[in-house]
Chains A and B, each alone.
Chain A
Amino acid sequence: MGQLNFAYNLEGPTSQLFAINNGTLSFFPFNLYESLSFSVVNFPVQGENANRTVSYSLGLYSLTGSSISLANSISGTRTQNNTEAYYVSLTATSAAQNITPGTWWFGFLASTGGNANVSLLGQSNVIPGNSFPGSFIQGRMTDSTNALPGSYATSDLDTTGADAMNIPMILLST
Protein backbone atom coordinates (compact mmCIF):
# COMPACT_ATOMS: atom_id res chain seq x y z
CA MET A 1 0.00 0.00 0.00
CA GLY A 2 1.23 3.46 -0.85
CA GLN A 3 1.24 6.78 0.94
CA LEU A 4 -1.12 9.57 -0.02
CA ASN A 5 -0.57 13.32 -0.08
CA PHE A 6 -4.26 14.10 0.23
CA ALA A 7 -7.71 12.53 0.44
CA TYR A 8 -11.21 13.94 0.36
CA ASN A 9 -14.70 12.61 0.78
CA LEU A 10 -16.42 14.92 -1.71
CA GLU A 11 -15.05 16.13 -5.05
CA GLY A 12 -15.19 19.75 -4.01
CA PRO A 13 -17.12 22.29 -1.97
CA THR A 14 -20.78 22.47 -2.93
CA SER A 15 -23.40 25.02 -2.06
CA GLN A 16 -25.21 22.54 0.16
CA LEU A 17 -25.04 23.43 3.81
CA PHE A 18 -24.67 21.12 6.77
CA ALA A 19 -25.52 22.81 10.05
CA ILE A 20 -23.45 21.77 13.04
CA ASN A 21 -25.22 22.81 16.19
CA ASN A 22 -23.30 24.21 19.11
CA GLY A 23 -22.15 21.40 21.37
CA THR A 24 -23.58 18.60 19.20
CA LEU A 25 -21.13 15.88 18.26
CA SER A 26 -21.78 14.42 14.78
CA PHE A 27 -20.06 11.31 13.45
CA PHE A 28 -19.66 10.67 9.74
CA PRO A 29 -17.57 8.15 7.81
CA PHE A 30 -14.42 8.70 5.83
CA ASN A 31 -12.98 5.95 3.63
CA LEU A 32 -9.22 6.11 3.33
CA TYR A 33 -7.81 3.86 0.62
CA GLU A 34 -4.09 4.22 1.36
CA SER A 35 -2.06 5.53 4.30
CA LEU A 36 -1.92 9.24 4.97
CA SER A 37 -0.13 11.29 7.61
CA PHE A 38 -2.62 12.91 9.99
CA SER A 39 -1.41 16.49 9.49
CA VAL A 40 -4.01 18.93 8.21
CA VAL A 41 -7.78 18.68 8.21
CA ASN A 42 -9.56 21.20 6.00
CA PHE A 43 -13.28 21.82 5.65
CA PRO A 44 -15.19 24.66 3.94
CA VAL A 45 -17.51 26.84 5.99
CA GLN A 46 -20.13 29.30 4.88
CA GLY A 47 -19.36 32.67 6.33
CA GLU A 48 -21.90 35.07 7.74
CA ASN A 49 -22.00 38.74 8.49
CA ALA A 50 -21.23 38.34 12.17
CA ASN A 51 -18.02 38.72 14.07
CA ARG A 52 -17.39 35.58 16.10
CA THR A 53 -14.81 32.95 16.90
CA VAL A 54 -15.64 29.28 16.47
CA SER A 55 -13.67 26.49 18.13
CA TYR A 56 -13.48 23.17 16.36
CA SER A 57 -12.55 19.72 17.65
CA LEU A 58 -12.46 16.75 15.33
CA GLY A 59 -11.97 13.26 16.63
CA LEU A 60 -10.64 10.45 14.48
CA TYR A 61 -12.63 7.40 15.51
CA SER A 62 -12.59 3.71 14.66
CA LEU A 63 -15.50 1.30 14.99
CA THR A 64 -15.25 -1.95 16.88
CA GLY A 65 -18.47 -3.86 17.11
CA SER A 66 -21.03 -1.32 18.23
CA SER A 67 -18.63 1.06 19.92
CA ILE A 68 -16.84 3.94 18.31
CA SER A 69 -13.44 4.75 19.85
CA LEU A 70 -11.23 7.80 19.72
CA ALA A 71 -7.88 7.20 18.02
CA ASN A 72 -6.70 10.80 17.61
CA SER A 73 -7.96 14.34 17.42
CA ILE A 74 -7.26 17.72 15.85
CA SER A 75 -8.48 21.12 16.87
CA GLY A 76 -8.31 24.86 16.28
CA THR A 77 -10.25 28.09 16.17
CA ARG A 78 -11.27 30.43 13.41
CA THR A 79 -12.57 33.99 13.66
CA GLN A 80 -14.89 35.07 10.94
CA ASN A 81 -16.67 38.27 9.95
CA ASN A 82 -17.30 37.81 6.28
CA THR A 83 -20.12 36.35 4.22
CA GLU A 84 -17.84 34.48 1.85
CA ALA A 85 -17.15 30.77 2.10
CA TYR A 86 -13.75 29.88 3.48
CA TYR A 87 -11.65 26.89 4.46
CA VAL A 88 -10.92 26.13 8.07
CA SER A 89 -7.57 24.34 8.32
CA LEU A 90 -6.78 22.52 11.55
CA THR A 91 -3.24 21.40 12.29
CA ALA A 92 -3.02 20.84 16.05
CA THR A 93 -3.16 17.06 16.28
CA SER A 94 -3.06 15.41 19.67
CA ALA A 95 -0.55 12.82 18.45
CA ALA A 96 1.42 11.95 15.35
CA GLN A 97 -0.26 9.24 13.33
CA ASN A 98 0.01 7.67 9.93
CA ILE A 99 -3.63 6.85 9.31
CA THR A 100 -3.94 3.35 7.88
CA PRO A 101 -6.36 2.44 5.09
CA GLY A 102 -9.91 1.65 6.03
CA THR A 103 -13.12 3.28 7.16
CA TRP A 104 -12.70 5.87 9.86
CA TRP A 105 -15.19 8.24 11.40
CA PHE A 106 -14.80 11.91 12.17
CA GLY A 107 -16.50 13.16 15.28
CA PHE A 108 -17.18 16.81 14.59
CA LEU A 109 -17.70 19.20 17.50
CA ALA A 110 -17.98 22.96 17.34
CA SER A 111 -18.34 25.67 19.94
CA THR A 112 -20.05 28.21 17.77
CA GLY A 113 -19.19 31.48 19.45
CA GLY A 114 -22.62 32.45 20.75
CA ASN A 115 -24.61 31.32 17.74
CA ALA A 116 -26.85 28.28 17.50
CA ASN A 117 -24.80 26.63 14.76
CA VAL A 118 -22.17 26.96 12.09
CA SER A 119 -22.83 26.04 8.46
CA LEU A 120 -20.40 23.71 6.79
CA LEU A 121 -20.40 23.10 3.06
CA GLY A 122 -21.02 19.51 2.15
CA GLN A 123 -23.59 17.13 0.84
CA SER A 124 -27.28 17.03 1.62
CA ASN A 125 -28.28 13.43 1.33
CA VAL A 126 -31.61 11.75 0.78
CA ILE A 127 -33.05 11.39 4.29
CA PRO A 128 -34.65 7.98 4.92
CA GLY A 129 -37.27 7.78 7.61
CA ASN A 130 -35.73 4.71 9.23
CA SER A 131 -32.27 4.01 10.53
CA PHE A 132 -29.83 2.20 8.29
CA PRO A 133 -30.47 -1.50 8.93
CA GLY A 134 -26.86 -2.62 8.64
CA SER A 135 -23.83 -1.70 10.70
CA PHE A 136 -23.33 1.87 11.84
CA ILE A 137 -22.71 4.47 9.12
CA GLN A 138 -23.21 7.86 10.75
CA GLY A 139 -25.18 9.73 13.35
CA ARG A 140 -25.06 12.34 16.08
CA MET A 141 -25.14 12.50 19.84
CA THR A 142 -28.44 13.64 21.29
CA ASP A 143 -26.85 15.13 24.42
CA SER A 144 -24.79 18.28 24.26
CA THR A 145 -21.11 17.96 24.99
CA ASN A 146 -18.03 20.12 25.15
CA ALA A 147 -15.44 17.38 24.72
CA LEU A 148 -14.77 14.45 22.43
CA PRO A 149 -15.68 11.19 24.17
CA GLY A 150 -13.10 8.44 24.36
CA SER A 151 -15.70 5.98 23.19
CA TYR A 152 -19.42 5.94 22.50
CA ALA A 153 -22.04 3.30 21.89
CA THR A 154 -23.43 3.70 18.37
CA SER A 155 -26.80 2.48 19.65
CA ASP A 156 -27.06 5.71 21.64
CA LEU A 157 -26.69 7.90 18.56
CA ASP A 158 -29.49 9.50 16.58
CA THR A 159 -29.14 8.00 13.10
CA THR A 160 -32.11 9.56 11.31
CA GLY A 161 -32.84 13.04 10.06
CA ALA A 162 -30.85 15.62 8.17
CA ASP A 163 -28.71 16.49 11.16
CA ALA A 164 -27.57 12.86 11.34
CA MET A 165 -27.29 12.01 7.63
CA ASN A 166 -25.78 15.03 5.90
CA ILE A 167 -22.00 15.23 5.64
CA PRO A 168 -19.51 18.10 5.39
CA MET A 169 -16.70 18.07 2.88
CA ILE A 170 -13.42 17.02 4.47
CA LEU A 171 -10.03 17.38 2.80
CA LEU A 172 -7.06 15.72 4.51
CA SER A 173 -3.71 16.98 3.31
CA THR A 174 -0.07 16.70 4.31
Chain B
Amino acid sequence: MARINIFQNIDIFHSANFVVRQSSYLRIHGIYIPGSISFNNVAVLISRSSNGSKTLSLSFGLYSLNGSTLSLANSASFNQTATTTAVSWQTLITSATQDITPGNWYFAFLSKSVGTGNFLQYGGVVGKAIGIGAHGGAAVRGILTVTDTVLPTSIATSNMQVEGGSNETNIYPYILISA
Protein backbone atom coordinates (compact mmCIF):
# COMPACT_ATOMS: atom_id res chain seq x y z
CA MET B 1 0.00 0.00 0.00
CA ALA B 2 1.24 3.48 -0.81
CA ARG B 3 1.79 6.20 1.74
CA ILE B 4 -0.47 9.23 1.85
CA ASN B 5 0.12 12.68 3.28
CA ILE B 6 -3.45 13.80 3.76
CA PHE B 7 -6.62 12.12 4.91
CA GLN B 8 -9.94 13.83 5.51
CA ASN B 9 -13.00 12.00 6.75
CA ILE B 10 -15.38 14.23 4.78
CA ASP B 11 -14.73 15.30 1.23
CA ILE B 12 -15.16 18.88 2.34
CA PHE B 13 -14.64 20.46 -1.04
CA HIS B 14 -17.60 18.60 -2.44
CA SER B 15 -19.85 18.96 0.56
CA ALA B 16 -22.32 21.80 0.42
CA ASN B 17 -23.09 21.88 4.12
CA PHE B 18 -21.04 23.35 6.86
CA VAL B 19 -22.16 22.11 10.21
CA VAL B 20 -22.26 23.95 13.41
CA ARG B 21 -22.71 22.09 16.59
CA GLN B 22 -21.36 21.75 20.05
CA SER B 23 -22.64 19.17 22.46
CA SER B 24 -21.78 16.57 25.02
CA TYR B 25 -21.71 13.81 22.49
CA LEU B 26 -18.65 11.91 21.40
CA ARG B 27 -19.28 11.75 17.67
CA ILE B 28 -17.95 8.55 16.14
CA HIS B 29 -17.37 8.17 12.43
CA GLY B 30 -16.09 4.97 10.81
CA ILE B 31 -13.80 5.59 7.87
CA TYR B 32 -11.40 3.86 5.52
CA ILE B 33 -7.82 5.10 5.28
CA PRO B 34 -6.36 3.99 1.93
CA GLY B 35 -2.65 4.29 2.67
CA SER B 36 -0.20 4.54 5.54
CA ILE B 37 -0.07 8.01 7.04
CA SER B 38 1.97 9.49 9.88
CA PHE B 39 -0.21 10.70 12.73
CA ASN B 40 1.50 14.10 12.86
CA ASN B 41 -1.17 16.75 12.46
CA VAL B 42 -4.85 16.60 13.35
CA ALA B 43 -6.94 19.61 12.38
CA VAL B 44 -10.56 20.69 12.57
CA LEU B 45 -12.39 23.81 11.44
CA ILE B 46 -13.83 26.06 14.12
CA SER B 47 -15.46 29.42 14.48
CA ARG B 48 -16.84 31.41 17.36
CA SER B 49 -18.58 34.72 17.85
CA SER B 50 -16.59 37.85 18.39
CA ASN B 51 -17.98 38.63 21.85
CA GLY B 52 -16.59 37.07 24.92
CA SER B 53 -13.75 34.69 25.50
CA LYS B 54 -14.10 30.97 24.94
CA THR B 55 -11.91 28.27 26.37
CA LEU B 56 -12.06 25.30 24.09
CA SER B 57 -11.60 21.66 24.91
CA LEU B 58 -11.32 19.59 21.75
CA SER B 59 -10.60 15.86 21.90
CA PHE B 60 -9.95 13.51 19.00
CA GLY B 61 -9.69 9.76 19.37
CA LEU B 62 -8.47 7.23 16.82
CA TYR B 63 -10.19 3.90 17.48
CA SER B 64 -9.96 0.44 15.99
CA LEU B 65 -12.72 -2.16 15.99
CA ASN B 66 -12.24 -5.59 17.51
CA GLY B 67 -15.37 -7.66 17.44
CA SER B 68 -17.92 -5.27 18.89
CA THR B 69 -15.54 -3.08 20.88
CA LEU B 70 -13.79 0.10 19.80
CA SER B 71 -10.34 0.48 21.35
CA LEU B 72 -8.48 3.76 21.64
CA ALA B 73 -5.28 3.60 19.60
CA ASN B 74 -4.24 7.24 19.76
CA SER B 75 -5.56 10.70 20.51
CA ALA B 76 -5.08 14.43 20.07
CA SER B 77 -6.38 17.39 22.02
CA PHE B 78 -6.57 21.16 22.29
CA ASN B 79 -7.30 22.98 25.55
CA GLN B 80 -6.86 26.71 25.35
CA THR B 81 -8.63 29.97 24.94
CA ALA B 82 -9.60 30.48 21.34
CA THR B 83 -8.18 33.64 19.87
CA THR B 84 -9.75 33.66 16.43
CA THR B 85 -13.30 34.43 15.48
CA ALA B 86 -13.49 33.71 11.77
CA VAL B 87 -13.65 30.17 10.46
CA SER B 88 -10.15 28.85 10.95
CA TRP B 89 -8.07 25.72 11.14
CA GLN B 90 -7.38 24.51 14.64
CA THR B 91 -4.70 21.87 15.14
CA LEU B 92 -4.77 19.44 18.03
CA ILE B 93 -1.70 18.13 19.84
CA THR B 94 -1.16 14.42 19.25
CA SER B 95 -0.45 12.23 22.26
CA ALA B 96 1.89 9.76 20.59
CA THR B 97 3.56 9.17 17.26
CA GLN B 98 1.99 6.51 15.10
CA ASP B 99 2.18 5.31 11.56
CA ILE B 100 -1.51 4.69 10.89
CA THR B 101 -1.90 1.58 8.75
CA PRO B 102 -4.46 1.34 5.95
CA GLY B 103 -7.88 -0.01 6.75
CA ASN B 104 -11.03 0.76 8.72
CA TRP B 105 -10.63 3.12 11.64
CA TYR B 106 -13.02 5.18 13.69
CA PHE B 107 -12.69 8.91 14.33
CA ALA B 108 -14.21 10.12 17.57
CA PHE B 109 -14.55 13.82 18.32
CA LEU B 110 -15.65 15.73 21.37
CA SER B 111 -15.86 19.48 21.78
CA LYS B 112 -16.72 21.56 24.79
CA SER B 113 -16.31 25.24 25.47
CA VAL B 114 -16.76 27.46 28.47
CA GLY B 115 -16.87 31.21 28.73
CA THR B 116 -18.96 34.06 27.49
CA GLY B 117 -20.28 34.71 24.04
CA ASN B 118 -21.97 32.50 21.51
CA PHE B 119 -21.22 28.81 21.39
CA LEU B 120 -18.30 27.32 19.52
CA GLN B 121 -19.03 25.93 16.13
CA TYR B 122 -17.07 23.44 14.09
CA GLY B 123 -17.15 22.46 10.50
CA GLY B 124 -18.64 19.24 9.28
CA VAL B 125 -21.68 17.82 7.60
CA VAL B 126 -25.29 17.41 8.56
CA GLY B 127 -26.55 14.37 6.76
CA LYS B 128 -30.06 13.12 6.33
CA ALA B 129 -31.55 11.96 9.60
CA ILE B 130 -32.45 8.28 9.50
CA GLY B 131 -35.46 7.88 11.70
CA ILE B 132 -36.34 4.24 12.04
CA GLY B 133 -33.87 1.72 13.36
CA ALA B 134 -30.18 1.19 12.76
CA HIS B 135 -28.64 -0.50 9.73
CA GLY B 136 -27.41 -4.06 9.93
CA GLY B 137 -23.87 -5.25 10.48
CA ALA B 138 -20.97 -3.46 12.16
CA ALA B 139 -21.59 -0.03 13.67
CA VAL B 140 -20.20 2.68 11.43
CA ARG B 141 -21.52 5.99 12.72
CA GLY B 142 -22.98 6.99 16.03
CA ILE B 143 -22.72 9.01 19.19
CA LEU B 144 -21.86 8.31 22.80
CA THR B 145 -23.07 10.51 25.62
CA VAL B 146 -20.16 11.66 27.76
CA THR B 147 -20.03 13.86 30.84
CA ASP B 148 -16.42 15.04 30.70
CA THR B 149 -13.65 15.56 28.18
CA VAL B 150 -11.86 12.26 28.74
CA LEU B 151 -11.92 9.86 25.82
CA PRO B 152 -12.91 6.33 26.85
CA THR B 153 -10.20 3.75 26.25
CA SER B 154 -12.78 1.32 24.96
CA ILE B 155 -16.35 1.64 23.72
CA ALA B 156 -18.79 -1.20 23.35
CA THR B 157 -20.57 -0.48 20.08
CA SER B 158 -23.77 -1.65 21.77
CA ASN B 159 -23.49 1.46 23.98
CA MET B 160 -23.46 3.78 21.01
CA GLN B 161 -26.54 5.44 19.66
CA VAL B 162 -25.95 4.38 16.12
CA GLU B 163 -27.28 5.91 12.96
CA GLY B 164 -31.02 5.45 12.86
CA GLY B 165 -31.50 5.67 16.57
CA SER B 166 -31.13 9.39 17.17
CA ASN B 167 -31.31 12.52 15.10
CA GLU B 168 -27.87 13.58 16.43
CA THR B 169 -26.16 10.69 14.68
CA ASN B 170 -26.31 12.31 11.26
CA ILE B 171 -23.86 15.08 12.18
CA TYR B 172 -20.21 14.44 11.37
CA PRO B 173 -17.35 16.79 12.22
CA TYR B 174 -14.72 17.34 9.59
CA ILE B 175 -11.29 16.06 10.59
CA LEU B 176 -8.09 16.23 8.60
CA ILE B 177 -4.95 14.25 9.33
CA SER B 178 -1.75 15.26 7.63
CA ALA B 179 1.71 13.78 7.78
Interface hits, A102-145 → B, CB 8 Å: 121
Contact of B132 with A by CB under 8 A: yes
Q: How far is the CA of A171 from the CA of B134 in the complex (A)?
A: 12
**Cβ A86 vs Cβ B131 within 8 A:** yes
- Cβ of A43 to closest chain B Cβ, rounded Å: 9
**Cβ B137 vs Cβ A11 within 8 A:** no
Pick from A4, A12, A40, A171: contact of B170, CB under 8 Å: A12
Q: How far is the CA of A87 from the CA of B134 in the complex (A)?
A: 7
If A7-B32, A12-B125 touch, does A82 touch B138 (CB 8 Å cutoff)? no
Q: How far is the CA of A82 from the CA of B133 in the complex (A)?
A: 12
Contact of A91 with B by CB under 8 A: yes
The range of chain A's interface size is 20 to 34
- Cβ of A140 to closest chain B Cβ, rounded Å: 23
- Closest B residue, CB atoms, query A88: B135
**Residue interface mask B1-20, A partner, CB < 8 A = 1:** 10000000111000100000
Q: Collect the chain B residues with CB atoms within 8 Å of residue A89's CB.
A: 135-137
- Closest B residue, CB atoms, query A122: B128
- Closest A residue, CB atoms, query B167: A84
**Cβ B129 vs Cβ A12 within 8 A:** no
If A6-B140, A14-B127, A89-B137 touch, does A82 touch B104 (CB 8 Å cutoff)? no
Instruction: Decide if the interface of chain B is mainly helix, strand, loop or mixed.
Output: loop
Pick from B32, B133, B138: contact of A87, CB under 8 Å: B133
Contact of A29 with B by CB under 8 A: no
Q: How far is the CA of A7 from the CA of B34 in the complex (A)?
A: 12
- Cβ of B170 to closest chain A Cβ, rounded Å: 7
Write the residues of chain A forming the contact surface with B, with a CB cutoff of 8 angstroms.
1-2, 4-8, 11-15, 33-34, 39-40, 42, 44, 47, 82, 84-87, 89, 91, 121, 171-174
Write the residues of chain B forming the contact surface with A, with a CB cutoff of 8 angstroms.
1, 9-11, 15, 30, 32, 34, 65, 101-104, 125, 127-138, 140-141, 163-164, 170, 172
Show 20 residue pairs from A and B whose CB-CB distance is below 8 angstroms, ordered by the A residue: A2-B102, A4-B32, A11-B125, A12-B141, A13-B170, A15-B128, A33-B34, A33-B102, A34-B103, A47-B132, A85-B128, A86-B132, A86-B133, A87-B163, A89-B135, A89-B136, A171-B140, A172-B137, A173-B140, A174-B137
